[in-house]
Structure formats: structure tokens, C-alpha cells
Structure 1
């Protein structure tokens, strides 16, 4: 259950939903003797997908860690979800894997979920093996799927195998690396090795030659030996192919039927013989640029890539040993917060089960429990080390919902539960919008958010209300206006007096200073809510003492925090205070603060006030046949299409879309494309709201104020 570093293989399975990853893993575990009988999704008895929610959905939702011993090696396997709503599980799993096994559906070809995970495979520079699965499907099409894969993922994809008979009668695989044909029993299982039919030798030899060339680039003398003998064994090619795979020089392609246990044993053998061990991978680069090798004799460093919670157990921390040899009782220091953590127990995971072990060497994956202050993305070191792993970066939220408890009495319980779920899922965001004062829950998709709601009810016994959040608008002006305002208040003793003459106008970077004023002081400052305020003090002759500048700016800011159109913050405005009056006795800070507030409000209303709305940069990847419908939907959302490009057999649409129009976009896109599209969105800028939209928003705001 524990292994030496050179005997470890860390493999993560990736692919679109319904590509058959979890079923393939079950077969791999069965082939390796880790389980005695294969479970099924319908039977709810698989090693992976063991949670109640996964049983209910019939889909993988969380990543699951397990292992199998194969010959002399230990193969750690991580299963991941295929829905892009749960991409965080993919990101964290790839962070600790040394090989990615990318599963394609032979009937559906390259799907958008695979496109998504490929971005992270490239980012982490992970060696990859492709498996074209479900070759027994009636609509299985190996050639089309291979062509699509090469178009999307490049010419480095090199087939090692191909099926001799796809579809319901599938039972023969030609293997060009071993130059043999595997023929399987009708119901799958152990194949019979047979000579490759004469009719297939030309194709098999061509594929074998390609593999020899790849291996020969990394090992001298291979090509000469090949010319002498006409054929090389897998053992002879192993070193060169291992180097090529470890350095992403090629991505081998295999075929299989995970459901019928055809081809999975061969894939396991290839992983065992050819896939890189942690020692074969480049050194891990730390946050400070230093490098750490997977050396079991070094001091210990571990990285926590995932955190979960279980009743009666508490927090479980899943980690990879980056260096050293970890043992129960070891004390490590958290590089992120300085806390000392004692590893009281050490386990390896077998799905929902955990088996205690005495040690784990560098490169291995493990689990521990009840760490005090350690979280996902934390690095723990032995004393004397100051290493810190570059943290995982998770994608921005694509769905936002305003959330609240059903009753105020449950508010604290709701957010305590949300924070626990957030600890397990770094792609979940919980924030307070400082403009609207709403609690905002951000996720990767509606399915993601719905799952959180379901977990809150089932696991924590708290109900959450959701609605589309208010949009944080901004206000500015497009014109110019002057205003004179006098604040005067007289009561028994000293009164209040302040008079201000000011001009307000739209501000933009690089604009010239006003020519008709004598500028005595100029300040341009960034506002807390974005945008700028340019403040010009143009008082000549002591009409207002400069000691009141702070109070005047405070009065202006009090109005800018709550604009007159919709109560939204104001930005990008230049204010020039050019005249006024003060009183030797009655003038004070509060007088000029109130005078400045009144003058700004009056001038702002007369300077063509304009509402600004947040615009988001949106990128959509969709099938060619859905492009028209996607474009039509975007245009209905007031989107501005800024570009289109082809990516494989997908179209990439780039647009700027108002945030106000993005409510429930993920669900709509899924309906339009049958789940075959993905999108990302990030804040771009604030832009002018169209006049008709502004009119409606101002009316709504005015009506709400009257009602309140």
C-alpha cells in the first residue's frame, strides 16, 4: 500500500460527462485485483461515486482517490467529474497527478468537457494518454474521434492501437506497439493474443514506425537496431517512449470498452511500464522559484490539494508528499500560517474506505484527519524548511445568486454551513456586495449552485433562499454644470454658514485642466468603488479658507456614494470649487460639508447624469451547428460580438455582455447546445446604459423609494 518513489504512478482520469471514466476505473481496479467484482452506476456499488448525492444523480460530482498494485508498482488513480460545473475537482487533481488519462466517448467524439480539461493539462504540462472508450457502442466511430482529437489537441497524438471491428460486435484490437492483435471473449475479460491479419499489416507497420521514431529521438542506437531487425519490442522502446511521454513529446492513443472489460488491462500495463514516476517528472517549482525534487531522503514537504468533511470524523486532508518520507507522529509547520500540525494518523484512500499505513514516500498520495489549521492549497514542511507551493488558481464564478436564510434566526447557521462547504470547494465564493449589501454566492454553473443548496438541506439541515442578485450600477455625468449652494442655520448661539460655487464635469484620463480658473491645488484619487474623482481647488483671495478643503471633499464624497439616479456610487467626475463665502464666527467643517453636498447634488442633476452598467468579457465555445442560436441569444442579451474563431470543430465566440443580462445564462446555453458548450466570463468595464434601460431602472428605483 506504500511504495518507493520510483515505483509510483499517479494517474488522473479526465473527460466529458458520460465518457465512461468511472466505469473504466472500476474495470482497472478489477484487472489489478483491487476488487473482486466490478460494480456499476446502476447498482450504486462502485469504488468511486460513493456519496449519496452521486448515487442520486448517477454522475461523478467529486474527485475520488484510490489505488491498485500492478506488478511491482503502485498506481494511484483519481477519478474526476465530467461536468464543467465541478472544474475545481479537475484543477486540484491535476495539480498532484503525474499522468492524465483522457477518456473520449467513441460515439460522441471530442466533447466540450474534454476541451475544458485540456486547458489545464497544458497549463500544468501533464503527460497525457488518450483512451477512446465505449468502442462497443452501436455508434462508435474510432476514425472520426481520432481525427477530431488530432484537430483539437495536435499532431502529437499518436495511435498505439486501433479497433478491428467497432460497434456492438467489438472484440478485436490491433496493437502497433507490441505488434499483436488482442481478441476478447464475447463478454470481455482476458484476451487471446493473435497475429495481426495480413490485411492490417501495412497500417500496423506504419503506426509502429511512428512509435519507433518517437522513441529513437530520446535513445541512441534504436533506429539502427530497428533497421537491422525490422521490428522492436515494447521493452526495447520503453526508455525512449517514457522520456517522450514524460516531456509531452507525444500523447499515445488507446481503445477500450470499460463496460465490457476490453482493453483496460493493456492500458494498465502501459501505465505500469511507460507512464512516468514522480522521479521522471520535472522538479516542483516553489512560489519563490526554487525547485524541489521527489527525493524520499530529503526533509519532508507535503501539499494539501483537497479537503472534505465527514460526520464523526471531521476534516479529511488529501495531500501529495513532495519530498521526504512522511510517518504518523511527524510534526510539520504550515508555510501559509506558521501553525504546527501533527500528523497523528496516515491513510491511503480506496474510494470511501481508508487504510492506515506506516509511511508514505515522496511522490505518493495520502489522507490524514483532524489537522487544526491546514486547508486546501497549504504547504506543510519539516522544521527548518521554508518551502511554499505555488497555489492552485481556480476559475472565476460564472453564476451568481443572492442568498439568505429562510428566517433571520438561521442566518448564522446558513453562513457557517456555507463556509464549511467552501472549505471543500475553492471554486465556491461567498461575498457581501458592498453596494447592494446582498450576500452573493458564486459558482461554476446552476448545477453547482443547486448542489450546494441540496447539501445545505440534507447535511446541515438549513434551507437557503436564492434569487438573482441586484446589479451594482455606477453613475456619472456626460455634461457640465455649475451650482451655487449656501448652507445657513441660525439658532441661539453660534450658527452654521457655508457657501460654495462649484463646477462638475465628466473626467477622463489626459483631459486638459480648466482654463478659466486659477488652480491652486489638484488631486486625482482612485475611488473605493472604482473610477476616479478629480478635485480642483480654485479659490482665490481667501473667499474660503483652505482649512475647509477636507470638509468640502467629505461632503462631495457623501453624495458620490449614493447618486441621484438609482442611489449607485458615482465615478469619473471632476469637481472644481472656484468661489464661495465664509463667516468668521459661524463657518465650520460641518457647514462646508453640508454646503458641498448640496452644491454637488444640484450640479450633478444638471450635468446630464448617466447610468453605467458592469460589462463582462464572455467567451463561448460551442459546436458549429449551434453557433447561430448562441449568437441570437447573445444579441437578445444586448451583447456586442467582438470576435469569432475556430477551435477544432468548435466555434469560439467572444462578446461583451451586460452583467444584468447574464442571469441563468449557463442553463440557457446548456439547453441551446444540448450541454455541448462552455463559457467563461470576467469583468471588463463599466459602460453607458442605453436610454430606455436607464429610464426603466430610474423609474423602478423611484417607485421602490416611495414604497419604502
Structure 2
């Protein structure tokens, strides 16, 4: 393969809702360019994009797939992204390393919830966008309605470059507005006859042409002047105007095709090679220090690794984008994240499992390397002249969590290794070995996501696993002040143990002062703040420890032991064994023995005094509450709202967004366990949601009572 310069490179994310035909379009493109001799099919389980066993098993894309081909003196790099929202990580990473998005729309289903979700990422990243209305041969294909829906979202930015002649079984032609030609296919043919536009279509084609002409001219002052002077532009000038309009996101071209029948695929390939932006045309990426890193082939080399796969007989395949400089086989680079040196022995451009040797890849290129010794997803490799790091990819928060364990405990270590490897392949996985919950918690994007994980573990790694209901990380706190004392005394021949601690506990809020006097049961307790320690707890909140000892009642050397005992009880709260938080403890008195007092005595005395005081201080259980945003078609809004209210949700607001209703609520994590499945059932798979941790809030009294009884029963069993 020849060495392509940066201005000859096109990087495109291929996105769209599940079932819109992305994998089929990829097959058609690779067939057209001659990289494959026969087109595979999803049903036939022999496509270039879906080549992993789990993808063949389920018939859907799980991973994003890089495929590159040479076309019209350009290097076309595509990333075919999964359509299911459960595998959105592939979409997010692809959009961050490509320079535009090609969005497929199913002509039969129009704009679906997955379309809306992916468009949100495109808009957030300000990526140029081209729409391709696919499956025009479907019996329910509806070009006009789908175009109207797109215009509802983006207004007149959506400009048809093509429109179909017929639909469903009668679809056999496309009017190309830009070329002012009719492409017509004979039955079974993939190459069209190029004809003049018939009289019956000239008026409609003329209207579309005028719209496209004006939209193209608006993006360049010189073109606008020529348009005003002459009333027209050449095809090349219009392409230049469309190119500039795409870069500024003031114009989103719309094409149409049937990828399955390879109708109009050749035309879209030609258009993309001529009009899609190069890495030089889009905003310059920033490194982690906020500095621009221009895609300059003569600059020092920086490679950003955005994807890792583990493939049979090969091992790890690491995919990267050349952010600056160029890279050749045999180059020695330094890992900016891990400090290690790395030699790139072999470089490739890829199309699924097909690897083509690349002697050199210049700035803007997307390539792959195999068997790198110490590179992880998100790492940057640099030449010795630079110290760039890149961390621009932001993945969505997980929405579905389960505890996971190996059925056979002897496989626990093997399971841990497999989960670590899978997170490299899909960074939207979160894996936590929770000391608090005594469970390994796997969090992902939905039930579909976890079901796929289970299949891979059991079929690829031969580890039988089970999912369990995850425990909830409750917290304990108090709502009023309380006082307690405890004497620890033990005598068993020789030196004994003695320690007595008197303390006060109260709920703590940031910045609150220590009162000089506390009253309990009609008795006053004066305190003197001799020293205060604020401890930020690993699990959130604070413990504030106040030394108010006067007259040497307890020697200062025993205070750390008292604090240690209190901390031990904070780690295993008195109510349910959950972490405690936001408590102030004032140690104001106590006793010690000149011989028998030691650290263990005061640690136990402090622990037990704290436990007693905590239980008398209006103890309450806190639960994690999440901000939940649901995007749902209007007809399902009532059912979705009722379901949320049944989950103890607090509805925070509603608004409309691009044809969908957006519902915002605060929902306890406990109630979100099966929400992914329920929402899909309620909406027929047309709604989606996101969730993000908000705060810890008090549980209702009836819920607290159930939790206390459950913990009591568990303690008896143990």
C-alpha cells in the first residue's frame, strides 16, 4: 500500500440504529473496492465486520470494527459501530478519532431512539454529518416521512442530494440532484444505467437542485457572489460548497441506497472520497494539557490507542490514530502513560480480520499493531521529542449492574483476569471488587450488554458464571446528638486491660461549630475543643474527631487508639453493617489505669462507646439516589412515568427534544435493578435512559425497617 499524506486520508464513523444496515453497507463497500471477492451477510455469519464468535452467535455487532480501503487516490478509514445502545462505547470512541459521521437511517423505521442517542454524541462532538437513508427496497420504506423527521431535528440543514424513484419492491431508481442524472437498475443488477431525468421528475428534481445549489453557495463568499452573478455553479463548485458546509455543520447531505442489493453504494463511495473532510479540515485535537496537536506529518510522532481486541491465534491487536508525525515499522516509541518503551515491529491497515502491511502511516491515519508488550486502551506512544497525552474520550455512565461470581470457586482468579481483559476491549465496563459489599460488581450499559459478557466468558473462556442481585451500598448516619460511655476491663492474671471512654456524637455538616455545652437528660456537659481532626472517608462524607479531654483523664497517646476503634465501627455501621458517614465525635472524658491501660483497651472502649451513642442518636440509613434521564416517544410517556413512580422516583421535569420526550427523575439505585428490561418492554425497545450518581438520601421509614430486619436475620444465620 502506498504512503498516504494527511490530506489524502478520510476517517469516517459508520453509525446508525441496530438493523439499519451498517454491516451490510460495509460489505458492499469492501466488495466494490475489490478487497473482498464475495459479499457476506449477517444471516450467513460471514461478514468482515461481525467476525467475533459472539457476534456470529447473536447476529448483531458487539464491537466497533475498523475497515480501510483505497479509493480514488484516497485512504478511506471507516469504523463500523454497533447499533445497540448497550454497546455505545464503540460509537463514542469511534466518533472521537474520526473526522465525520455517516449516519444510516432505516427507511422503513425512520428516526429511532438509537438514532437520536447517537446523533446526540455527534452533536456534542461537533462532527460533520452525512445521512444515508438505507433499505429503500423495504416494503415499508418511506422517504418523505423520514426526510420530514430529519428536518424536524435539523431544519433546512438537511439537504437531499438524492431521492428515490419508487419504494419497496418498486424501488429501482435514484435521482441524483447534484449530478442531475437518473440512476436506474435493471432487476438483479448492481451497476445502474445512467439516464437523463425524465420529464415526470424534472420539476421535483429542479426544486431539490435549487435548494442544494443555494445551500452549497451559502458556505463560501466567492461561490455566493458567483451564484448571484450567474445563477448557477458547476458540479465541482457545488461539491466544494457542500464540503465547506459539512465542515461548518451548516449542511447535512442526504443520500439513499439499498446496501443489501448494492444499489447506489458506488456513488456514495465516490462522493465521500471527494467531499468528506480530511484531518486537516476539522478542529485541531487537544492533548491532556489543553494544547493543540496538529496532524502534521513532519512533527514529532504521537499515537493514541483507542481500541483493543483479543483475537484467536494472534492475541492483542491494538488500534491507534496517528495524532502527529508519522510511524514506520521498527520505530521505538515511549508510552507516556506507563513510562515503558515500545517497538512497533509490524504495522497494518485493517478490514476486520484482513490485515494489510503498512510501511508508514502519516498524521491522521488509523492503523493497527499486534503483540505490543505494554500498551492499553487510552495510552499514548510518543517519539523522544514529545510528551503528549490524550484523554479526550468520555464514556457514558453505566446503567445496569450485577454481582458476578464463578460457579466453580477455583475459577475466580481466571474470571478476574478475563474481566480485566474485557474492559480493555470495551471501556464502558466497570468492574469493582467491593470490600464493602463482599461482591464483585460488574456494571455495563444494559441487560443485553451483560448477557453478551456471560456468553463470552462461558463460551470463549470456558468459565461458568452466575449473576446475582447486587447488594446496595447503603450508608448509615445519625440525626441528633447522643452521649455514651463504655468501660473496657479485663483481668486474667498478670497485666490486665483497662480503658474508659466518654463521648458525644452528633450529625455533622460542613463548617458547623462545636457547641460549648451539650444537654442530655437534664444534665449539662461542657466541652473544650482542644484539637480537631477532619477525616475524609473513602466511601464519602466525613468523620470529625474532637479531643475535649481536660485534666489528663486520658493520656494523649491513647487518642489515636480511640479514633481507630471509632473508625472500625464506621466501617461496619451499627445498624446494618454499612459504612457510616457525616458524624462528629467529641471525646470529653474517661479513665485510665497506670498499669493496665493500653491501646487495645482504649480502641475497644472507643468502639463500643461510639456504637452505643450511635444507636441512641436517631440513626438513619441512607441510600444512593441517581439522576435518571429517559428519552421516550410521546405515546409511552404516561406508562413510563407510572413505572418510575412505582420505583419511588421523584419526577424533576419534562421537556421535548427532537421528536422525543425527555423525562428527568431522581430514583433510588435499589429500584433501578431491572429498569433496562422494564423500559424496553414498556416502549417496545424505543426508549432509552441514562443514569448518574446524584447523592445519598434518607430511606423511608418502612424501607429502613425492612433493611434492619433483613440484617438481623442475616446476623443470626451467620
What range describes the TM-score normalised by the shorter chain of this pair? Answer: over 0.9
Structure 1, unaligned runs of 5 or more: none
Cα distance between partner residues in 2 of 1:228 and 1:241: 19
Deviation at 1:473, TM superposition (A): 0.9
Aligned residue for 1:442? Answer: 443
CA 1:314–1:180 in 2, change beyond 3 Å: closer, same or farther? same
Does residue 528 (structure 1) correspond to residue 538 (structure 2)? The answer is yes
Does residue 519 (structure 1) correspond to residue 525 (structure 2)? The answer is no
CA 1:181–1:233 in 2, change beyond 3 Å: closer, same or farther? farther
Does residue 666 (structure 1) correspond to residue 676 (structure 2)? The answer is yes
CA-to-aligned-CA distance 1:295-317 (integer Å, 9 cap, x gap)? 33333222211111123211111
Query: SS at 2:168's partner residue?
Result: coil
CA-to-aligned-CA distance 1:661-689 (integer Å, 9 cap, x gap)? 11122122222212112111111111111
CA-to-aligned-CA distance 1:240-269 (integer Å, 9 cap, x gap)? 321221232221111111122222222112
Deviation at 1:406, TM superposition (A): 1.7
Query: SS at 2:484's partner residue?
Result: strand
Cα distance between partner residues in 2 of 1:301 and 1:567: 49
- The answer to whether the 8 Å contact 1:644/1:652 transfers is yes
Cα distance between partner residues in 1 of 2:291 and 2:506: 52
Deviation at 1:337, TM superposition (A): 1.4
Cα distance between partner residues in 1 of 2:502 and 2:352: 73
Deviation at 1:541, TM superposition (A): 3.6
Aligned residue for 1:286? Answer: 287
CA-to-aligned-CA distance 1:545-564 (integer Å, 9 cap, x gap)? 44433222222222222122
Deviation at 1:625, TM superposition (A): 1.5
Cα distance between partner residues in 2 of 1:590 and 1:390: 47
CA 1:561–1:431 in 2, change beyond 3 Å: closer, same or farther? same
- The answer to whether the 8 Å contact 2:503/2:587 transfers is yes
Aligned residue for 2:506? Answer: 505
Query: SS at 2:579's partner residue?
Result: coil
- The answer to whether the 8 Å contact 1:285/1:390 transfers is no
CA-to-aligned-CA distance 1:161-189 (integer Å, 9 cap, x gap)? 22232332112322222233322223352
Cα distance between partner residues in 2 of 1:385 and 1:568: 48
Deviation at 1:25, TM superposition (A): 1.9
CA 1:37–1:229 in 2, change beyond 3 Å: closer, same or farther? farther
Range moving further from structure 2, 298-307 or 678-687: 298-307
CA-to-aligned-CA distance 1:312-355 (integer Å, 9 cap, x gap)? 21111111222333221111111111211111112221222112
Cα distance between partner residues in 2 of 1:660 and 1:172: 54
Query: SS at 1:440's partner residue?
Result: strand
Query: SS at 2:209's partner residue?
Result: helix
Aligned residue for 1:397? Answer: 398
- The answer to whether the 8 Å contact 2:64/2:90 transfers is yes
Does residue 477 (structure 1) correspond to residue 486 (structure 2)? The answer is no
Counterpart of 1:596 (choices 599, 606, 620) is 606
Does residue 31 (structure 1) correspond to residue 40 (structure 2)? The answer is no
Query: SS at 1:671's partner residue?
Result: helix
Aligned residue for 2:192? Answer: 191
Range moving further from structure 2, 408-417 or 586-595: 586-595
- Which residues of 2 match residues 295-306 of structure 1 at below 5 A? 295-306=296-307
Aligned residue for 2:580? Answer: 570
Cα distance between partner residues in 1 of 2:444 and 2:564: 38
- The answer to whether the 8 Å contact 1:519/1:536 transfers is no
Cα distance between partner residues in 2 of 1:351 and 1:538: 69
Query: SS at 2:539's partner residue?
Result: coil
Query: SS at 1:291's partner residue?
Result: coil
- The answer to whether the 8 Å contact 2:127/2:249 transfers is yes
Aligned residue for 2:157? Answer: 156
- The answer to whether the 8 Å contact 1:618/1:682 transfers is yes
- Which residues of 2 match residues 349-368 of structure 1 at below 5 A? 349-368=350-369
Aligned residue for 2:520? Answer: none
- The answer to whether the 8 Å contact 1:481/1:503 transfers is yes
Deviation at 1:435, TM superposition (A): 0.8
Query: SS at 2:250's partner residue?
Result: coil
Aligned residue for 1:371? Answer: 372
Cα distance between partner residues in 1 of 2:607 and 2:7: 72
Cα distance between partner residues in 2 of 1:589 and 1:310: 56
Deviation at 1:235, TM superposition (A): 0.7
Cα distance between partner residues in 2 of 1:295 and 1:176: 36
Range moving further from structure 2, 465-474 or 246-255: 246-255
Aligned residue for 2:521? Answer: none
Deviation at 1:497, TM superposition (A): 2.9
Cα distance between partner residues in 2 of 1:411 and 1:219: 62
Aligned residue for 2:523? Answer: none
Cα distance between partner residues in 2 of 1:487 and 1:44: 71
Does residue 111 (structure 1) correspond to residue 121 (structure 2)? The answer is no
Aligned residue for 2:647? Answer: 637
Cα distance between partner residues in 1 of 2:34 and 2:597: 89
Cα distance between partner residues in 2 of 1:284 and 1:240: 24
Cα distance between partner residues in 2 of 1:595 and 1:388: 51
Range moving further from structure 2, 467-476 or 23-32: 23-32
- The answer to whether the 8 Å contact 1:34/1:69 transfers is no
- The answer to whether the 8 Å contact 2:15/2:91 transfers is yes
- The answer to whether the 8 Å contact 1:414/1:463 transfers is no
- The answer to whether the 8 Å contact 1:318/1:366 transfers is yes
Deviation at 1:282, TM superposition (A): 2.8
CA 1:483–1:347 in 2, change beyond 3 Å: closer, same or farther? same
CA 1:372–1:250 in 2, change beyond 3 Å: closer, same or farther? same
Cα distance between partner residues in 1 of 2:506 and 2:384: 60
Cα distance between partner residues in 2 of 1:358 and 1:591: 71
Q: TM-score normalised to the size of structure 1?
A: 0.95
CA 1:230–1:203 in 2, change beyond 3 Å: closer, same or farther? farther
- The answer to whether the 8 Å contact 2:486/2:501 transfers is yes
Cα distance between partner residues in 1 of 2:383 and 2:482: 66
- The answer to whether the 8 Å contact 1:62/1:86 transfers is yes
Aligned residue for 2:84? Answer: 83
CA 1:492–1:56 in 2, change beyond 3 Å: closer, same or farther? closer
Deviation at 1:214, TM superposition (A): 3.5
Aligned residue for 1:556? Answer: 566
Structure 2, unaligned runs of 5 or more: 518-525
Cα distance between partner residues in 2 of 1:325 and 1:342: 14
CA-to-aligned-CA distance 1:367-407 (integer Å, 9 cap, x gap)? 21110101111111222221222342222221211111122
Aligned residue for 1:311? Answer: 312
- The answer to whether the 8 Å contact 1:629/1:672 transfers is yes
Aligned residue for 1:225? Answer: 226
Cα distance between partner residues in 1 of 2:704 and 2:388: 53
- The answer to whether the 8 Å contact 1:178/1:233 transfers is no
Query: SS at 2:187's partner residue?
Result: coil
Paired residue total: 708
Range moving further from structure 2, 409-418 or 507-516: 507-516
Deviation at 1:289, TM superposition (A): 2.3
Cα distance between partner residues in 1 of 2:613 and 2:374: 54
Query: SS at 2:573's partner residue?
Result: coil
Cα distance between partner residues in 1 of 2:55 and 2:686: 21
Q: TM-score normalised to the size of structure 2?
A: 0.94
